[in-house]
Amino acid sequence: MVLDRHFHQPPVLHPRRRQDITEKNVDVLFQSPDFQDTIAQRLAGAVRVPTITYDGMRPVGEDPRWEIFFEFSAYLKKAFPRVYQALTTETINEHGLLYTWQGSEKTLKPLLFMAHSDVVPAGDSTSKEWTYPPFSGHYDGEFIWGRGSEDDKSNLIAMLTAIDCLLQCNFRPDRTLIVAVGFDEEGGADQSYGARCLAETLRGRYGENGLEMIFDEGIAGIEHRFGTDFALPATAEKGYVDVTVTVRLPGGHSSTPPDHTAIGFLAQVIALLEDHAFKSQLIRQNPTLTFLRQAALLSQSMPGDLREAILSAQSSKKLLEYMDADRERRAMIRTSTAVDVIQGGDKVNSLPESAAVLINHRIAIQDSVQDVKSHYVELLAPWADKWDFRLDAFGERRPAKKNSLKCNGINDSGDLILAAQYELESSPVSNWEDPRFRWLAGTIKGVFGDTVVVAPEMLSGNTDTRYYWDLSPQIYRMSPWRASHDPRGTRMHTVDERMPVKGLVEMVKFYHEFIRVVDEVRL
Per the annotation, does 493 bind a ligand? yes
409 in Cβ contact with 259 (< 8 Å): yes
Backbone angles phi and psi of 339, in degrees to 5: -80, 110
DSSP character for 456?
Answer: -
Determine the Cα–Cα distance for residues 337 and 463; give it in Å rounded to an integer.
Answer: 19
Is residue 375 a known part of a binding site? no
Residue 191: HSE in the Cβ half-sphere, 13 Å Cα cutoff = 18
184 assigned to active site: no
Q: Give the containing element (helix H, strand E) for 421.
A: strand 414-424
Vertex 330, ends 325 and 335: CA angle to 5°? 140
Q: Which residues contact 163 (CB under 8 A, 6 or more apart)?
A: 80, 83, 87, 99, 101, 177, 179, 511, 515
The DSSP letter of residue 110 is P
Torsion of the alpha carbons at 345, 346, 348 and 350, rounded to the nearest 10: -90
- Name the active-site residue from 152, 164, 184, 185: 185
Q: Is 303 exposed, middle or buried (CB count within 10 Å of its CB: 0-12, 13-18, 19+)? A: exposed
Q: Measured between alpha carbons, how far is 310 from 330 in angstroms, rounded to an integer? A: 16
Q: Where are the beta strands (DSSP E) in 226-363?
A: 228-231, 234-237, 239-248, 338-344, 354-363
- How far is C-alpha 145 from the geometric centre of its chain's CA atoms? 21
Cβ proximity of 332 and 323 under 8 Å: yes
Q: Pinpoint the alpha helices (H) of 80-147.
A: 81-86
- Are residues 360 and 338 in contact, defined by beta-carbon separation less than 8 angstroms? yes
Could you confirm whether 118 is annotated as catalytic?
Answer: yes
216 marked as binding residue: yes
Return contacts of 381-386, CB within 8 angstroms, 24+ apart.
Answer: 383/268, 383/269, 383/272, 383/416, 384/416
Closest by CA to 113, choosing from 192, 175, 51, 47, is: 175
Known binding residues for Zn(2+):
116, 151, 186, 216, 493
Known catalytic residues are 118, 185
Known binding residues:
116, 151, 186, 216, 493
